Copies of this chain bind each other. A is one copy, B any other.
């Protein structure tokens, strides 16, 4: 007789269509562990699915339990697991890599072309329980707060982006002040950037959060940006740009404010192809441009644990809203509004 659990289920291929309901509690399969979820957080991807945009229509097969950011306790081990124990306090990498392709066999499983994502391609963590391959489990430091443990997956995007650049003592510009942008501001501050230029668009709320997290200047993306940056850097321009907005004007403006030899690190996803001045903005300036996806498995997770326990910085201001699981739909609406940092949901 199967036990039930409470879960948020995307029931139909349509906008909204998300219901809190009872569903069977999952069984951990070969090499999987079962986790009692204590906190989960909402990703921009979850909003895309909730709103049922073009990307979601092509990728998602309802019914689906969403959610890939969480923290909880291991309660059951499936067959053929090895090192994780019942009782471990864990989070998980959301990308389940295939393990056998060229990328997986050469330390690049974060860009495995056969990846399946928790809460996207299989049931996820907006539920009382979630089953996850042991391979993907991260055992958290015992004193890591639950809600910080939950946002490690997106924090890992920031970590990969920031450490793709060479920040200490250098000028950095961060475009896009959503949660990953904000966490990147905090990271750049924590590793002693010379000046951090946080560049947003219209959202006052997030621009003020950027200031609180350590930005030296919070600027609006505009035509005068190039001149302002020249003044603020004595004509050198910025050494690295972190593009996290997914806005094509930001991408091109980012290239303009880079010094010759600078680095462009792009996590943003753009709705469509767009025009780039490759010759003037990349080739003759000797720019290096890096596409960033996911998190290095699992170097970035170890670095995260180290950063979060270094006592050097505080991600807490990034979390702006907290809800009990019963109010999950309200949580989703707040996240969808854009007037928030990270939104977390407590299952307990």
Q: A337 at the A/B interface (Cβ < 8 Å)?
A: no
The total of chain A residues at the interface (CB under 8 A) is: 71
Q: Which of A7-15, A33-41, A219-227, A271-279 has 4 or more CB atoms under 8 Å from chain B?
A: A271-279
Contact of A293 among B102, B105, B285 (CB under 8 A): B285
Per-residue contact bits, chain A 279-290, to B (CB 8 Å; 1 contact, 0 not): 100111111111
Identical chains in the assembly: 4
Tell whether A313 is near chain B: CB-to-CB under 8 Å: yes
The answer to whether B273 and A194 touch across the interface, beta carbons within 8 angstroms, is no
- Residue in B169, B291, B293, B309 whose CB lies within 8 Å of A302: B169
Report chain B residues within 8 Å CB of A194. 305-307, 309-310
Partner-binding segment picked from A46-54, A68-76, A198-206, A258-266 = A258-266
Q: Which residues does chain B contribute within 8 Å of A190, judged by CB atoms?
A: 168, 191-192
Do B279 and A276 have beta carbons less than 8 Å apart?
A: no
Which residues on the B side are within 8 Å of A270 (C-beta)? Answer: 278-279, 283
8 closest residue pairs by CB, A with B: A169-B306, A194-B306, A107-B107, A169-B303, A192-B312, A111-B286, A283-B291, A273-B277
**30 A-B pairs with C-beta separation under 8 A:** A83-B100, A102-B302, A106-B302, A107-B299, A108-B260, A108-B261, A112-B260, A168-B306, A169-B303, A169-B307, A169-B310, A170-B306, A190-B191, A193-B306, A194-B305, A194-B310, A195-B310, A251-B278, A266-B278, A266-B283, A267-B283, A273-B275, A273-B277, A274-B278, A276-B278, A283-B291, A283-B293, A286-B291, A288-B291, A289-B290
Q: Report which A residues bind B (CB closer than 8 A).
A: 30, 80, 82-83, 99-100, 102-103, 105-108, 110-113, 163, 168-171, 189-195, 236, 248, 251, 259-261, 266-270, 273-279, 282-293, 297-299, 302-307, 309-310, 312-313
